Structure 1
Amino acid sequence: MYIGLQSMFYKYIWGLKAKRDQYATDTANKHMNLVCARRDSAAFQINVASEEEFVLTISESPLFWKEGAIKIARLELKLDAPIKTEIKLIGLMEDDDGQLKAEVLLDDSYIHVEKKRLQQVWVELHASKDIPTGQYTGTVRLYTHQLFEPERLTEELTFALNVLEDSLPDPHEYRFHLDLWQHNSNIARKYKVELWSDEHFRIIDGYLASLAALGQKALTVLVSEIPWLGQMSYMDRQPSDLYEYSMVKVTRRKNGTFDYDFTAMDNYVEIGFRNGICDEIEVFGLLNVWQDEPEYGVVAEGYPEAIRIRYKDESDGTYKFMRDSQEVKAYVRALAAHWKAKGWLDKVRILADEPADLQVFQRRVDTLLELVPSLKLKAAISHSEFIRQRARGVFDYVVIADCAAKEWDHLQELRSEVEGKLSLYVCCGPARPNTFIRSPSLEARLLPWLAEYLGFEGFLRWSYTNWPDRPLDSIVYRSSVFPAGDMNLVYPGPSGKPMLSLRYKWLLRGIRDYEYMQILKRDGKDNVVREAMQRVFFFEHVKEIYENKPVAELYSLAPEDYDRLYVPATINESARLI
């Protein structure tokens, strides 16, 4: 048997390009030093392999393999501290290049492992806000047996955790403005439950809890049908169902008046609030709704936006779509009145997703603000003209990362004129840094660092649960547009809760780095943050990231360069966060 310890950022690749002796070389390390703040965590990976097939378990429950006699290997973790430990088997997912790559934290307690193949195990140590500072030690033991043999201790590894004095805030108090869009209709499809049913909301609660643990600030609310046109999946040879539906039920009474049922929207927002996601209600379906003429164009004549509002007509019992612009305008006013009555209007942001034509966008904005002047708008911007010409009416700016870097000097000049927040985003581009499965693992951690470097307040990504039809079989979908991993950060777990990905954990580490930087700056240690930035970023101007230069000349892919943010001068610099 082979067993060793690796960084939390270790990514195993199983395929034609894998080294033949990787199972031996990547299990050579037998000790790990870790460091974290309080109300924080430190993580590492255990690699286990053998020259013969075996079954690895992280449970103490009895286990016999269904195919007969085989070696059973059991991992046991011991720690001399009152620290909650999280242990998960790591599953592989196929990337666009056909290779299997470490990706998902499994709910299973055991797994069959092929000969000469590494099996990764995720270990995370959660330090509470009350834990005494100091150094703690722990062991990882590997026991093996077959059938009715007694277990034998095969090997023992060690690790040390240093808990610092500083304490991170609760995630709902994080200053980093995280905005990962939610696709709740897709969640209903994967669990085969009725849209906006009690069962659907029970599952949604678990997904919002996973977002809240990241420090998520925004709730995704849809108020008209299919605002993204299901990513135009109807154009694919093998389409996936990616349509997202409105949270508002509309009825036209026999007397011609409309009733609006906001129950599903209210339930969703209140579940989000209970989970601590209460800074922003992000509304889709009113501004810059996707169109694809002629089938998916404007529905309501005379209204400049392709808002699709479905209603049930009581006069004949059929469903129809609003065709009159006055009906749409009345609906928009009713939404705003409801938000105001609930006390939410100041939290509401009407989202425009990548408007392309500035003049068209301004006409749509003017129409919306004429109806409800108090609405605040938020735009995901992928064109520099929207920055240089200052799109009128936009409160919060979210700028795609490469545009933000290239326009950084200009954005610094405009910062005082932006009324709301300034954030960056990535999606299916730019290629780097990003959170694709193919991306170097440290790039997910790097993105909050990039936000801090730019002086931005947060980070947006378009897809938390926008899975293709069979995500547990394959996450690859339309790879010429969506690199594998672009459409999700979690997977639909069998228990009705999400299975997290390594990319989720790596992004969380970067967010916590950002929060720790704010603590350091608050305490007058700006120099520590500057020195950390100098270790991680190598460019002279941030726009160089998106020029034709190798990564090695732009930013670090060495975990220790990031980890030294946490290492005081009194601690040996070999201590590592991961």
Structure 2
Amino acid sequence: MKRLFILMLNFICVTSFAQFKEPADPKKKLADYGAWEKLSTGIQFVFIDPDYSLSKHNVPTQQTNKSWKADAWAGETVSTQLAVFSKDTNVDNSSLELSYSDLKFGKNIISKQNIHFSPIAYVISDDPSKLGSACGINIILDSTLVADRILNASTIEFNSKESRPLWLSIDIPKNTKPGLYNGTITVSIKSAKRTKKLNLPFTINVLSYKLADAKDWSFYLDLWQNPYSSARYYNLEPLSKAHLDKIKLIMKRLANAGQKNITTTLIYDPWNSQTFDKYDAMIRWIKKKDGSWEYDYSLFDKWVEYMQKEIGISSYINCYSMLPWNLSFYYFDEATQQREVLKAKPSEQAYEDHWLPFLKDFAAHLKQKDWFNKTTIAMDERPMKDMQAATNIIKKADPNFKISLAGYYHPELSDDIIDYTIPFYETMTPEVLATRKAKGYITRAYTCCTETYPNTFTSSGYYEPIYMIVNTLQRGFDGYLRWAYDCWNEQPLEDTRFGSWAAGDTYLVYPDNETSIRFERLREGIQTVEKIKALRLSLTQKGKTEQLKNLEEQIQQFTNKNINRDLIPSQVKSLKNLLNSL
């Protein structure tokens, strides 16, 4: 019976490992194997700075600890990183299994159902840090492995002279009583011959402050969704029930980060094939034999209703784009019984003749669905004269149509754009920003491939997303936008590079609802902003002017001007400590 059990254990481990493939390390030959020889024998299981990026074949050089203590608000998620490593050859091909206990404070408990303890996988990345921009890269960058993909697993293979990163996060329930909650995490290193267990204690100091639920956060997050990418990846009919069911958890993850916008497409390929999977049109344009138009909104309606009712994202419906990058507009022609394409510039009559009938019909449809007031005709990074021409047609169709723009700041457009997102390093004057706020308009910052830092590439420092998010608050903005939540490439689980963009530019999460360190730290940044807002209100009400002044001084360090990249980690840590001590 014992022999049968061991055989079964080996089969389970092999089956699990067969489903997980980690790419080869292109820099393995450059590893410092002398440092491994200097390491003491035994298996090292330690907490490590969550800002530190481990190297698979190098001994961690960051200070490690045998325990961890974190301050947390009720309702907050707190996270950290761990590492397991050994020079002992008898650990080769072992199974590393993770487990954990409830957190306890007297009779009070934070259930282990609120704890997530997972291996972090290495993925292929590149290094654009020495470039002025990470857009349109026309040289071969140095490729490397980075730890980013947080697995939905509790088991992973473990080998000698490899550093295996692990991610620990705890969701603190809103009703948690303040106090010191103690728990234990365990790694079991299993092979056919032996099992070795290692434990580490950790403590969460739950403070008296409470963080609002994500659905109630005032921060306006907009990460563009691409359902056509996941449909291709899972080989499912786009927006079918099977497809929507498959991506429900990953969309819920987005909602739980405070997402406010639904990404929809009016036309086919609005971004001229800049992603591995082209965005298809959610609205079918049909030109009748008599020259009139018919519009099929069934897919558009299905996606919007799904995102609102099942996912819980409902502030804005952004519709892209009247200004595609190739100015090509596809439709089905009943006369020819095939897809046709119109190429027209916004300054041409053919452009208005194509768009004006649609916009009038679309406005009527949106009003019938009671979505008109939350829908924007969305544009991005187009020349101002084209945007002005498009805006005139939009207002001609219905003067109450709302418009959003992610692009360079043009003062001439500010009065027309209710949801305006400008590049991270651009500036909007305080006077214009105040006028927009008075009107109830939303103003955000965005990063894309242009900014080599701070950013959310797989090569970016883990602390960079937090800096970016706090910067939006420092400038008085309402939120942050990034162009791709889930535009997966051909092998998204292994290689985060795509086209001529920096690695990781096209997606922040992985298939099968696997998150990333980048996305988790982005969400942490949003939590930080929400905590600042709550503290501002509390300190003001209590008349604690000195503490409020100290807080504001810390926030002002998160500027978009003359950033000292080396200081970002310490700035993030200092702010985090301050928010938990006021």
TM-score grouping bracket, smaller chain normalisation: 0.7 to 0.9
Distance 1:558 1:320, change over 3 A: same
Matches within 5 A, 1:164-563: 164-231=207-274, 241-253=276-288, 257-274=292-309, 275-286=311-322, 288-291=323-326, 297=327, 306=328, 308-311=329-332, 313=334, 317-321=337-341, 325-356=352-383, 358-382=384-408, 384=409, 386-387=410-411, 389-391=412-414, 393-404=416-427, 407-409=428-430, 411-412=432-433, 415=436, 420-479=441-500, 482-493=501-512, 498-525=513-540, 528=547, 530-532=549-551, 534-535=553-554, 538=557, 542-545=560-563, 550-552=564-566, 555-557=568-570, 559-563=572-576
Asked if 1 retains the 8 angstrom alpha-carbon contact of 2:356 and 2:393, the reply is no
Equivalent in 160, 163, 169 of residue 115 of structure 1? 160
Q: Number of paired residues?
A: 506
What is the CA-CA distance between 1:537 and the residue it aligns to?
5.3
> After the TM superposition, which of the residue ranges 102-111 and 527-536 deviates more from structure 2?
527-536
Instruction: Give the whole-Å Cα distance in 1 for the aligned partners of 2:89 and 2:395.
Output: 65
Distance 1:456 1:530, change over 3 A: farther
> After the TM superposition, which of the residue ranges 120-129 and 416-425 deviates more from structure 2?
416-425
Secondary structure of the equivalent of 2:456?
coil
Q: Could you give the per-residue CA deviations for residues 532-575 of structure 1, whole angstroms, max 9, x where no partner exists?
A: 45346548x74223xxxx4236x444653132133236xxxxxx
Instruction: Give the whole-Å Cα distance in 1 for the aligned partners of 2:522 and 2:215.
Output: 16
Q: Which residue of 1 aligns with 2:150?
A: 105
Distance 1:169 1:53, change over 3 A: farther
Q: Could you give the per-residue CA deviations for residues 39-79 of structure 1, whole angstroms, max 9, x where no partner exists?
A: 11211222101113577xxxxxxxxxxxxx85444333223
Instruction: Give the whole-Å Cα distance in 1 for the aligned partners of 2:90 and 2:151.
Output: 18
Equivalent AA in structure 2 for residue 128 of structure 1: P
Q: Could you give the per-residue CA deviations for residues 461-487 of structure 1, whole angstroms, max 9, x where no partner exists?
A: 1111122222223111234xx211111
**TM-score by structure 1 length?**
0.81
Distance 1:140 1:333, change over 3 A: same
Distance 1:108 1:222, change over 3 A: same
Instruction: Give the whole-Å Cα distance in 2 for the aligned partners of 1:542 and 1:318.
Output: 50
| 1:6 and 2:36 matched | no
Q: Which residue of 1 aligns with 2:179?
A: 134
| 1:91 and 2:121 matched | yes
Q: Which residue of 1 aligns with 2:130?
A: none
**TM-score by structure 2 length?**
0.81
Q: List runs of 5+ in structure 2 lacking aligned partners.
A: 1-42, 127-141, 344-349
> After the TM superposition, which of the residue ranges 207-216 and 503-512 deviates more from structure 2?
207-216
Asked if 2 retains the 8 angstrom alpha-carbon contact of 1:352 and 1:380, the reply is yes
What is the CA-CA distance between 1:197 and the residue it aligns to?
2.0
CA-atom RMSD, angstroms?
Answer: 2.6
Instruction: Give the whole-Å Cα distance in 2 for the aligned partners of 1:399 and 1:30.
Output: 44
Secondary structure of the equivalent of 1:448?
helix
What is the CA-CA distance between 1:531 and the residue it aligns to?
2.6
What is the CA-CA distance between 1:391 and the residue it aligns to?
4.9
Asked if 2 retains the 8 angstrom alpha-carbon contact of 1:396 and 1:418, the reply is no
| 1:33 and 2:69 matched | yes
Q: Could you give the per-residue CA deviations for residues 118-140 of structure 1, whole angstroms, max 9, x where no partner exists?
A: 11111111111112121101122
Instruction: Give the whole-Å Cα distance in 2 for the aligned partners of 1:271 and 1:285.
Output: 21
Percent identity of paired positions between Structure 1 and Structure 2: 24
Instruction: Give the whole-Å Cα distance in 1 for the aligned partners of 2:259 and 2:273.
Output: 24
Asked if 2 retains the 8 angstrom alpha-carbon contact of 1:54 and 1:112, the reply is no
Instruction: Give the whole-Å Cα distance in 1 for the aligned partners of 2:434 and 2:262.
Output: 30
Distance 1:70 1:247, change over 3 A: closer
What is the CA-CA distance between 1:101 and the residue it aligns to?
0.8
Instruction: Give the whole-Å Cα distance in 1 for the aligned partners of 2:220 and 2:300.
Output: 22
Secondary structure of the equivalent of 1:367?
helix
What is the CA-CA distance between 1:190 and the residue it aligns to?
1.2
What is the CA-CA distance between 1:144 and the residue it aligns to?
3.8
Q: Could you give the per-residue CA deviations for residues 424-444 of structure 1, whole angstroms, max 9, x where no partner exists?
A: 111112222111122111111
What is the CA-CA distance between 1:529 and the residue it aligns to?
5.7
Distance 1:371 1:73, change over 3 A: closer
| 1:74 and 2:97 matched | yes
Asked if 1 retains the 8 angstrom alpha-carbon contact of 2:474 and 2:556, the reply is no
> After the TM superposition, which of the residue ranges 167-176 and 519-528 deviates more from structure 2?
519-528
Instruction: Give the whole-Å Cα distance in 2 for the aligned partners of 1:413 and 1:276.
Output: 30
| 1:46 and 2:86 matched | no
What is the CA-CA distance between 1:328 and the residue it aligns to?
3.5
> After the TM superposition, which of the residue ranges 119-128 and 73-82 deviates more from structure 2?
73-82
What is the CA-CA distance between 1:4 and the residue it aligns to?
0.3
Instruction: Give the whole-Å Cα distance in 1 for the aligned partners of 2:118 and 2:90.
Output: 18
Asked if 2 retains the 8 angstrom alpha-carbon contact of 1:311 and 1:322, the reply is no
Equivalent AA in structure 2 for residue 365 of structure 1: T
| 1:566 and 2:579 matched | yes
Asked if 2 retains the 8 angstrom alpha-carbon contact of 1:13 and 1:99, the reply is no
Asked if 1 retains the 8 angstrom alpha-carbon contact of 2:94 and 2:158, the reply is no
Asked if 2 retains the 8 angstrom alpha-carbon contact of 1:138 and 1:158, the reply is yes
Distance 1:105 1:455, change over 3 A: same
Distance 1:420 1:391, change over 3 A: closer
Instruction: Give the whole-Å Cα distance in 2 for the aligned partners of 1:128 and 1:506.
Output: 19
Distance 1:395 1:559, change over 3 A: closer
Q: Could you give the per-residue CA deviations for residues 207-243 of structure 1, whole angstroms, max 9, x where no partner exists?
A: 3211101010000010111111112xxxxxxxx6331
Secondary structure of the equivalent of 2:81?
strand
Instruction: Give the whole-Å Cα distance in 2 for the aligned partners of 1:513 and 1:186.
Output: 31
Secondary structure of the equivalent of 1:524?
helix
What is the CA-CA distance between 1:256 and the residue it aligns to?
5.3
Q: Which residue of 2 aligns with 1:161?
A: 204
Instruction: Give the whole-Å Cα distance in 1 for the aligned partners of 2:118 and 2:297.
Output: 40
Equivalent AA in structure 1 for residue 398 of structure 2: V
Secondary structure of the equivalent of 2:165?
strand
Distance 1:250 1:206, change over 3 A: farther
Secondary structure of the equivalent of 2:373?
coil
What is the CA-CA distance between 1:412 and the residue it aligns to?
4.7
Asked if 1 retains the 8 angstrom alpha-carbon contact of 2:467 and 2:572, the reply is no
What is the CA-CA distance between 1:30 and the residue it aligns to?
0.5
Distance 1:189 1:319, change over 3 A: same
Instruction: Give the whole-Å Cα distance in 1 for the aligned partners of 2:79 and 2:90.
Output: 25
Equivalent in 182, 185, 191 of residue 146 of structure 1? 191
Secondary structure of the equivalent of 2:425?
helix
